[in-house]
Structure 1
Amino acid sequence: MDAQAKDKITERQARIVEIVTQQGFATIDTLARDFGVSTQSVRRDIIRLDGAGLLQRFHGGVGVRETSARMDYAEKRTLATDAKQRIAARAALLIPEGSVVFLDVGTTVEAVAHALREKQRLRVFTASLAAASILSGRSGIDLFVLGGFVRGLDGSVAGETTLSMLARFRFDYAVIGFSGIDRDGALMDYDLEKVAVKQAAMDQSSHTLIVGDSSKFRKSAVVRFAAGAKSLVFVTETQPPENISERLGGQFVIAG
């Protein structure tokens, strides 16, 4: 936040900016409870912060502005790199040779793509131009990039064309990233169209590997998906707190 913008907002509003920047998203109810004020007061704060270009209003809450999230994507690749590499290596071990695999978007999934380069025989479908670039030209890996609109600096492909193409295929494994977790255990992310691709790929897969480092278990986002889904395997680097693992269900594989 620049100094000029900070001077124009209240101390509570500045704190809201700090919280949302750290978490990615916060609900109005949660902020009202944390600050001990009414939801109407928080809503007015959010309107002010949205108008100042510091945060973005969403239904029921507030998040980082989409432009800010996209600008930070290069920085995301430098975060928790050791954890992502361990998660990726463990996820790759769960995928047998000869499998048909869908790769989602995101930096952890990109790490999985790097780990899959060691496979001798795979058929990979992806909605990630970054993952496709990592696997392109690799001997023994048949690569199919889904069509659609390219959204943002993460090189994700989404839209009706993407969903239509996904409906034509069946996968043995879908490797799916996420940005946060809702209070009831539903996975969450920020972009409605990208989430639609995640959900469609999971629906077409026999097995789903959810990949993400432990920081994601303490964050929220905007759009829910996989609520109540079964047969999920979470690959992460540390055992989640018991209350988190109970809400999520599914099986946890810890990358040592």
Structure 2
Amino acid sequence: MRMLAAERRDHLLSLLAREGKIVAKNVASDLGISEDSVRRDLRDLAAEGLCHRVYGGALPVSPAVADYAARKTVTPDGKRKVAARAAALVRPGSALILDGGTTALAVAHLLPPDLACTVITHSPTIAAALLDHPVAEVFLLGGRIFKHSAVACGAAAVEAAQNVSADLCLLGVTGAHPEAGLTTGDAEEAAMKRALAARAADTYILASSEKIGAASRFRVLPWEDVNGLITDADPRHAVVEELVARGVEVLTTDPSDPSDQSDQSGN
């Protein structure tokens, strides 16, 4: 007896939560239905914002696609932990490219007051947060403001980014998935993030736990183009373990994590 549509929906959501992805042909084989039926179910789930469709199936959708105000309330403690770990990477006298978004804003607030550095950002929110930082130099890149993330995007912003350089780039994403790579929900914002990362010697991704294993529509970068990932996700999280196995440097907020290979010496 075949599943009813509502039962298939529950089965797909359960599979997505348990395995982190849906392969349409496998589900069709398991349930004895056509791949077209599975794809229709996935289209319906995607329309409700419950999954992100990809070729051959679906991935978990990122909750970070909500508007800027709503994202401030999503895992604030996790974002603070990620921000603290990231701020510790910024060395005295260095130049930092700081992306926009709520986690990056937390980084700005956590930079030590006595840290002399240069912060380059395309986020007016982050630039404003650093006005009270006594010794940090702040360079604001301009362009059309993408209100979802409170950042400048578009051709003017990308051109401005191409004329700066930095030691470190701290980049936010809405999804960090082993196969889909690093993703976000807007094409122009993805292009801006690529432009920023290209101007830094090292690039680390800021990804609080809700973004791990999730995916959005537009790819920012593949894993091989970044130095590592900073996350508060459990080191035993299946996606984190898979990333480590693939050679991705994962800096967690758990100091006892044996997979954390970051340099604590300051060199």
TM-score bucket of the superposed structures, by smaller chain: 0.7 to 0.9
Partner of 1:6: none
Structure 2: give runs of 5+ residues left out of the alignment. 255-267
Out of 96, 102, 109, the position equivalent to 2:97 is 102
- Contact in 2 for aligned 1:185/1:244 (Cα 8 Å): no
- Contact in 2 for aligned 1:97/1:119 (Cα 8 Å): no
Partner of 1:222: 217
Out of 253, 256, 260, the position equivalent to 1:255 is 253
TM-score for both structures, normalised by structure 2: 0.73
In 2, Cα distance between equivalents of 1:117 and 1:195: 29
TM-superposition CA deviations, 1:141-186 (whole Å, max 9, x none): 2212211111133212111111111111111110011222344362
- Contact in 2 for aligned 1:70/1:152 (Cα 8 Å): no
TM-score for both structures, normalised by structure 1: 0.76
Out of 111, 119, 134, the position equivalent to 2:129 is 134
- Contact in 2 for aligned 1:189/1:221 (Cα 8 Å): yes
Partner of 1:7: none
Out of 141, 145, 151, the position equivalent to 2:146 is 151
Residues 116 and 11 from structure 1, CA distance in 2 versus in 1: closer, same or farther, beyond 3 angstroms? same
More helix by share: 1
SS at match of 1:208: strand
In 2, Cα distance between equivalents of 1:206 and 1:194: 21
Instruction: Percent identity, please.
Output: 25
Partner of 1:30: 23
* Cα drift, residue 207 of structure 1: 1.1
Out of 224, 235, 239, the position equivalent to 1:239 is 235
In 2, Cα distance between equivalents of 1:119 and 1:58: 46
Instruction: Supply the RMSD in Å over aligned alpha carbons.
Output: 3.6
In 2, Cα distance between equivalents of 1:75 and 1:141: 29
* Cα drift, residue 41 of structure 1: 2.3
Task: Report the number of matched residues.
Answer: 240
Residue correspondence of structure 1 range 1-256 to structure 2 within 5 A: 11=6, 15=10, 30=23, 33-34=26-27, 36=31, 37-45=33-41, 54-55=48-49, 60=55, 69-71=65-67, 73-116=68-111, 118-184=113-179, 186-230=181-225, 232-237=227-232, 238-239=234-235, 241-247=240-246, 249-256=247-254
Structure 1: give runs of 5+ residues left out of the alignment. 1-9
Larger mean CA deviation between 238-247 and 94-103 belongs to 238-247
Residues 118 and 233 from structure 1, CA distance in 2 versus in 1: closer, same or farther, beyond 3 angstroms? farther
- Contact in 2 for aligned 1:126/1:144 (Cα 8 Å): yes
